[in-house]
Copies of this chain bind each other. A is one copy, B any other.
């Protein structure tokens, strides 16, 4: 396959560099210069491959999202029962390689721009729609129809809230605690049918 063209390689490197710089510097501090240096290139090349700064970080967000999506999908493919599907979604969202303060910092910086950048808002919308769709596909088999929406929203909010906590107080919230939280919610909210 010819997707390994040099241009695609560079683009990917730069998207990842952008996301990594974002983790430590925030949006304002994530300079084109810093991104370039971090990727071992010059500033000029960044703007050769991306229209402008917004474009770069929009694509960086896309990439980070795709990565998370793939992790969840991989688990979903292995899931057999609705319960397992729920588990897959949740554990995918708390995988070690993602559930890290610095990653959360990058997401926070991106989310903070959403209100002023329609492109980022669009991505955010997609993310939420997918989460909701995934959750519903499991919940409809576990709950009365009229409760599914509420529970899907609650699970989403819980995940987001725990991520936020991780970002705001780096110490004090481990992956295990977060997963325990989610489990606690599910056991109290979803009737147990011969799990």
Contact = CB atoms under 8 A, between A and B. Distances in A.
Interface stretch (A33-41, A133-141, A160-168): A160-168
Number of copies: 2
A150 interface: yes
A168 B107 CA distance: 12
Given A111-B112, A112-B112, A115-B26, A165 B169 contact: no
Interface of A: 25-29, 101, 105, 108-109, 111-116, 121, 124-125, 128, 150, 153-154, 156-162, 164-165, 167-170, 177, 180-181, 184-185, 188-189
Interface of A: prevailing SS: helix
A168 B168 CA distance: 18
Given A115-B105, A181-B150, A128 B158 contact: no
